[in-house]
Structure 1
Amino acid sequence: MDSLDRRQGLSSEQVAQRVRDGLSNADEGIKTKTEKQIILENTFTFFNILNFVLALFVLLVGSFKNLLFLGVIFSNIIIGSFQGIRAKRTIDKLSLISAPKASVLRDGKLQTIPVSGIVMNDVLHLSTGQQICADAIVLEGEAEVNESLITGESDPVLKRAGDELLSGSFIVSGSCYAEVEHVGRENYANRIANGAKYVKRTNSEILHSLDFIVKTLGFTLVPIGILLFCKQFFLLHDTIREAVVSTVAAILGMIPEGLILLTSVVFAVSVLRLSRYKTLVQDLYCTESLARVDVLCLDKTGTITEGTMQVDELHPLTGYTEEDMTAPLKALVQVLTDDNPTYNAVKAYFPGGSDWKAAATVPFSSARKWSGAYFGERGTYVMGAGEFILGERFGALREHTEEYAARGERVLLLAHSAKPFLENKVLPDDIEPVGFILISDKIRTEAPQTLRYFAEQGVTLKVISGDNAVTVSNIAQKAGLPHAENYCDATTLHTDEEIAGAIEQYSVFGRVTPQQKLKFVQALKDHGHTVAMTGDGVNDVLALKEADCSIAMASGSDAARTVSNLVLLDSNFASMPQVVKEGRRSINNLQRSASLFL
């Protein structure tokens, strides 16, 4: 596109032509099963087919009153289908609620359209809080982008003209125009998600055991049935009708019909119980899988942490006190209108008002990396990245910031000058540092107790994140994760053998790619472990699909919710112990009943 087109965007004719050429952003992500598919899956099982065949023989001889055993079959079909359709509709509603809109430049005007209406070469206008709905290249402007749902990296990334924007990420601050370069299945997020489009075998020992029993009986019942019929018809001289009914009745007594129904009812009740804890079960047997888990892989963001930031402490420099920092920070959060994670953390830390009046303010921008205000006689106060505020003079303070960074802290600098801003919002030359504001990811209140529960239950915990390994390790230590100091940078792992060795040796992993997450889960399963995985982003989808039991947060991506066995509707990790307890109770009850029944 030439420069004139970029200012005007695509014309209506160009959009129509791209739609005809199949270059639109039609949703190519992972879809939930259709209601028809769910009903068919629950209807055409080996157990049901075996019973339908027996029912057919009874029908052929006209003994309709002996078809009551089909009640067990229809009960199983109804229970399984009802649960599957209920889960599907809940997931679809969540997707509908979270469905973003796109702002595009067409015929020289900005228009708001559904994401599916984006076409190749559309010019998107992206601003703070908006989701990037298609891979694009920045044309004009600057923006900080949160790519955590795609890469697992929670630190915002600055994007300038010429930089690539990945679908599924969010604009944290700033605004820009960007030209769409991929649509539909070619988008980065969809390319990852498409790797999870395969049918996963349910990992349920109870289901497999029942399936084995029914299939074994099914094949042995053929010769037994023939012999029984011959005995009734040729030796006892029953009528055809009597012989068939007697044979079917004898065969039905050999099939554990009641046990199959009991299993479905127990898990259905378990699903209803879990719904009280805001937990959506998409697979009837997944509570059993989770109850048997011996390794739980956790994603940091959204599981251990809330995805927001918090101020840990203020650290005034020599010659200043904490009060020297408190008053100006209260004033800054009152007069500034920034909207990014670090500013919001400071604002939450200083909820009270201030009587300071600002003569001039400078909002945060990705280029400046700081924001501030001039308060007349009180001078100018700014907060932000020390390197950008002090320039070369920041070298004297770098040792302090590196020490805090090693503890997993993010460091903001508060600085002061008696002079106002210079022309074009440039900082005064005599700006001096006042102190550091130490910020970290906010750990979920319930996370330490939940992690402690799993540790006490003998479940090995692994934290797998796209963030810096040191940062993740420190956060995990604060949350009470056992052996959290034992961390590994996944960029140093290059072969499958190294990954297989590392996953047994370390407890915390940083800088992990989506493909590496998948290999971690596969390596654990190869070592004989039953693996559960939590996640919320597209970067977690491959590992979620591979895990024996997968748990997604409702606040995460559509793809993560769709492939997971369990969805925590309130995105609250504290529900997990209750799910495990429910699964274990169901297993214990069923095992005792099955032993007696068989």
Structure 2
Amino acid sequence: MKEKELRGLTSAEAEQRKAEGKVNTASTVKTKSIKRIFIDNICTVFNGINVLLFILLMVVGSYKNLLFIGVVLFNTVIGIVQEIRSKKSVDKLTILTESKLNVLRDGEIVELSKDELVLDDIILLSRGNQVPADCILVDGECSANESLLTGESDLIAKKLGDELLSGSFIASGNCKCRVNRVGADSYAAKINNEAKYIKKNDSQILKAFKTIINICSVIIFPVGILMFVIKYFVQQQMFNDTVISTVGALVGMIPGGMILLTSTVLAVSVIRLAKKKVLVNEMYCIETLARVDVICLDKTGTLTAEIMNVHDTIPLDCEKDEIMTALSSIAHVDEVNATAEAVHAYTKDIEPLQCKHFTPFSSETKWSGGEFSNGRTYIMGAAEFVFSDKEKYAKVYQAIDEVKDTVRILVLAKSVNPLTDKTLPDDLIPMALILIKDQLRDNVQETVNYFKEQGVTLKVISGDSVKTVQNIAKDCGIEGAENAVDMSTVTTDEELAEVAERCNVFGRVTPAQKKKLLIALKEKGHKVAMTGDGVNDVLALKEADCSVAMAAGSEAARNVSQLVLVNNDFACMPQVVAEGRRSINNIERSSSLYLVKTMYSILLSLFFLFSHHIYPFEPIQLSLIGALTVGFPSFVLALQPNKNIVRGNFTYNIITRAAPAAICIALNIIVTALLSDPLGLSHAELSTMAVYTTSLIGLMLIVRLCIPFNALRGAMLALSTAGIVIATIFFRDFFKLTALSQSALIMQVITAVVIIVLFNLLYHFADKMIEKHKRESSPKTTT
């Protein structure tokens, strides 16, 4: 049987297995299809309502009132382009990480992709190869790095009959393996399948838009139908006039520009982040990350660079020269691993001794060593395995206890007797303590300090031993690193919920526990971000409010994450958060401009529904007001610098800030309409006065939002004001404006003075309410 296995399958056997479906088909979480992206962005309630209003205006031939549809088109295009761009980027990363495999077929080595493997294929693996499917080692030996699966960075020795899991890497050795599980049956696929669900977006902006659009949808149709019936059938108004005024009322209710503004600002943020090597898979995650108050970090690859350095050596009654020679000799012949590479770099200038016999490191013995040409045996490994008799070697353990640095400690020993198989000599003599540190990523301490200053709690979650993780956390300056827990000792959900809040360092964490930790933190009211790179992180990444993956990590981690750090550098996270804060704070400020129109349109629609007057606005007039008091100013404000911490509820903030202007506009127009008959004002005058009033209040709101002023904001206000003046003087006919009579002009001046005073009083009160709400809803950090 073994001889047949080592010749591999025949072509006929491989074809038979393909026919039976025993193929290693991809089972990772895939990105959206192009078709799905188009459907999701086109088939929305918002688009449906606008298209219906567009058709109604087309029917009556009011073509100049169709400008509003441009907002819908731009918004849809931006959404589609951004999602397709992100999909292509993620798919490209996936392709770049794929490589061909050497497989035995018909006794010859052929190159196949992982998707072409079938059950019982014999694959040849060597250092650096990723295991493509679960398999059994049938020839040779190797050491496997399973950190992407388990989170543990220690290498696992594999011998004949041992299983290699898909997603792990061969760290050293050469072997032949027989595929025993493919596709959905593999270990990695089972974890991935748990992540195959549609994640609910937790964006406050998106929720606010959906709420506003749903409210508008509920109001629009009954109000539109009632207004048309009353105006056309009861009040006998002209059909075209009725359609135009009805559509004008309904268009005003839809905050289409607010959605376009948000899409544009977030798209700009996506472009800016791309220049910083950050790939955004979903635009609204920028907001979520700006709001997080807890970030859960994976140790390996996030805080550390997966490189070790020898920090120091502490002699134990031994000369420094002999210590360096012993280390150089062991590192020269030891199998390639992070520890051996660190020792080799530390002793690169020392001439090694010739080795007669060597025993490599294994997970069972936790040491490596051999006999060298000077007649000595040198051993390097973990103290508890090399010096198992703690009473005999009390001085060694005393020296270890005196080490205060956050380091990994190995011991170096010697003997004049040779090794017997894998049994250490009894007469070992301690030579030195070897202090090894994981190399931190560049700027990681500055990154940690940034989040500390911003009130964001960092929690380190890893499959490594709690002591190792705690040491790294302390070196990085993470607050609360002394609060550490070994998750292998946590057995109940109650215990897990308690340590999730109390502790900031978690060791020996399983993939399922990572997910539970995030759920526990979210249930405590925290906004949680998660960074990771492995299959073991997939469940937690999917559960997080904002998920961040490293590009060098697993395909599954990249595909389920909202952000991908292309350069695998956690140090760029502050820039991502800062970009999010700029975008979200500015969107919140600018969105109130759009919501004013929605709010006063609803109030006015309800009034004019039962009034004999025609609705005062036509769509073209709303386009003028929207462009110069909402659209242009909002885009200028939305792209300004803003590093303030995102606080409060988005919906509450924009409604409260928009309410004063909306109330003043609606109140002024309603009073004007009620007095129009006694004063003998025409509909054209009422409509013109409504445009002037709305423009004035809109400009006043802009003034408030521009504080503190700068040159750009001042220029924007001047241009908006000039634009309105020019439009009302030189393009009066185009915008259906008329000259005001003396009585209308006097009333316009009087109401303008009253409304200015009322607006400022209401806005001052609203500002206080928003600040109070922000203070009460500020995130509380964990300790």
TM-score (norm 1): 0.91
**Cα contact 1:283–1:565 (8 A) shared by 2:** yes
Counterpart among 510, 529, 533 of residue 532 in structure 1 = 529
Q: Percent identity?
A: 46
Report the Cα offset of residue 570 of structure 1. 0.7
2:606 aligned partner? none
Residues 530 and 425 (structure 1 numbering): CA distance in 2 closer, same or farther, change over 3 Å?
Answer: closer
2:707 aligned partner? none
1:313 aligned partner? 312
**Cα contact 2:315–2:433 (8 A) shared by 1:** yes
The one-letter code matched in structure 2 to 1:526 is E
Report the Cα offset of residue 359 of structure 1. 7.2
Measure the CA separation in 1 of the matches of 2:114 and 2:243: 60
Report the Cα offset of residue 76 of structure 1. 0.9
Residues 386 and 463 (structure 1 numbering): CA distance in 2 closer, same or farther, change over 3 Å?
Answer: closer
1:439-475 Cα offsets, whole Å, 9 max, x none, are: 2322223222211211221112211111111211121
1:345 aligned partner? 342
Report the Cα offset of residue 69 of structure 1. 1.6
Measure the CA separation in 2 of the matches of 1:585 and 1:564: 22
Measure the CA separation in 1 of the matches of 2:382 and 2:522: 46
Confirm or deny that 1:384 pairs with 2:380: yes
Instruction: Report the RMSD for the aligned CA atoms in angstroms.
Output: 3.0
Measure the CA separation in 1 of the matches of 2:83 and 2:239: 41
Q: Which moved more, 1:386-395 or 1:192-201?
A: 386-395
1:2-22 Cα offsets, whole Å, 9 max, x none, are: 223223221111111111100
**Cα contact 1:535–1:552 (8 A) shared by 2:** yes
2:324 aligned partner? 326
Confirm or deny that 1:550 pairs with 2:550: no
Measure the CA separation in 2 of the matches of 1:524 and 1:312: 36
Confirm or deny that 1:272 pairs with 2:256: no
The one-letter code matched in structure 2 to 1:27 is A
1:265-317 Cα offsets, whole Å, 9 max, x none, are: 11111112222221111111111101111111111111111122221211222
Counterpart among 495, 505, 508 of residue 505 in structure 2 = 508
Measure the CA separation in 1 of the matches of 2:137 and 2:462: 27
1:36 aligned partner? 35
Measure the CA separation in 1 of the matches of 2:103 and 2:283: 43
Report the Cα offset of residue 429 of structure 1. 9.3
Alignment of 1:238-277 (within 5 A): 238-277=237-276
Alignment of 1:149-160 (within 5 A): 149-160=148-159
**Cα contact 2:334–2:340 (8 A) shared by 1:** no
2:678 aligned partner? none
1:86 aligned partner? 85
Measure the CA separation in 2 of the matches of 1:357 and 1:186: 49
Residues 425 and 162 (structure 1 numbering): CA distance in 2 closer, same or farther, change over 3 Å?
Answer: closer
Structure 2 counterpart SS, 1:385:
strand
1:522-553 Cα offsets, whole Å, 9 max, x none, are: 11111111111111111111111111111111
Residues 392 and 461 (structure 1 numbering): CA distance in 2 closer, same or farther, change over 3 Å?
Answer: closer
**Cα contact 2:355–2:370 (8 A) shared by 1:** no
TM-score (norm 2): 0.70
**Cα contact 1:401–1:411 (8 A) shared by 2:** no
Confirm or deny that 1:59 pairs with 2:55: no
Structure 2 counterpart SS, 1:30:
coil
The one-letter code matched in structure 1 to 2:141 is E
Report the Cα offset of residue 331 of structure 1. 6.0
Q: How many equivalent residue pairs? A: 591
Measure the CA separation in 2 of the matches of 1:114 and 1:476: 39
Counterpart among 441, 450, 456 of residue 453 in structure 2 = 456
1:541-580 Cα offsets, whole Å, 9 max, x none, are: 1111111111111111111111111111111111111111
**Cα contact 2:442–2:571 (8 A) shared by 1:** no
Measure the CA separation in 2 of the matches of 1:462 and 1:586: 26
Alignment of 1:19-168 (within 5 A): 19-168=18-167
Measure the CA separation in 1 of the matches of 2:530 and 2:395: 38
For the pair shown, which has the larger CA radius of gyration, 1 or 2? 2
2:282 aligned partner? 283
Counterpart among 414, 433, 436 of residue 433 in structure 2 = 436
Q: Which moved more, 1:426-435 or 1:29-38?
A: 426-435
1:370 aligned partner? 368
Structure 2 counterpart SS, 1:31:
coil
Measure the CA separation in 2 of the matches of 1:3 and 1:88: 44
Structure 2 counterpart SS, 1:243:
helix
Measure the CA separation in 1 of the matches of 2:513 and 2:291: 24
Q: Which moved more, 1:257-266 or 1:558-567?
A: 257-266
**Cα contact 2:328–2:351 (8 A) shared by 1:** no
Structure with the largest fraction of helix:
2
Measure the CA separation in 2 of the matches of 1:339 and 1:356: 16
Q: Which moved more, 1:74-83 or 1:387-396?
A: 387-396
Segments of structure 2 that go 5 or more residues without pairing to the other structure are 597-783
Measure the CA separation in 2 of the matches of 1:215 and 1:75: 21
1:541 aligned partner? 538
Measure the CA separation in 2 of the matches of 1:51 and 1:400: 78
Residues 167 and 184 (structure 1 numbering): CA distance in 2 closer, same or farther, change over 3 Å?
Answer: same
Residues 222 and 425 (structure 1 numbering): CA distance in 2 closer, same or farther, change over 3 Å?
Answer: closer
Residues 354 and 400 (structure 1 numbering): CA distance in 2 closer, same or farther, change over 3 Å?
Answer: closer
**Cα contact 2:313–2:435 (8 A) shared by 1:** yes
**Cα contact 2:379–2:414 (8 A) shared by 1:** no
1:69-91 Cα offsets, whole Å, 9 max, x none, are: 22111111111111111111111
Measure the CA separation in 1 of the matches of 2:586 and 2:56: 35
Measure the CA separation in 2 of the matches of 1:281 and 1:254: 32
Residues 105 and 398 (structure 1 numbering): CA distance in 2 closer, same or farther, change over 3 Å?
Answer: farther
The one-letter code matched in structure 1 to 2:319 is T
Report the Cα offset of residue 390 of structure 1. 6.3
**Cα contact 1:332–1:373 (8 A) shared by 2:** no
1:160-213 Cα offsets, whole Å, 9 max, x none, are: 222221110111122322221110011101100111111112111111112111
Residues 428 and 486 (structure 1 numbering): CA distance in 2 closer, same or farther, change over 3 Å?
Answer: closer
Measure the CA separation in 1 of the matches of 2:393 and 2:189: 44
2:571 aligned partner? 574
Residues 359 and 160 (structure 1 numbering): CA distance in 2 closer, same or farther, change over 3 Å?
Answer: closer
Residues 510 and 336 (structure 1 numbering): CA distance in 2 closer, same or farther, change over 3 Å?
Answer: same
The one-letter code matched in structure 1 to 2:70 is G
Measure the CA separation in 2 of the matches of 1:542 and 1:242: 58
Measure the CA separation in 2 of the matches of 1:399 and 1:463: 34
**Cα contact 1:328–1:381 (8 A) shared by 2:** no
Measure the CA separation in 1 of the matches of 2:394 and 2:27: 47
2:670 aligned partner? none
**Cα contact 1:518–1:546 (8 A) shared by 2:** yes
Report the Cα offset of residue 503 of structure 1. 0.6
Report the Cα offset of residue 138 of structure 1. 2.1
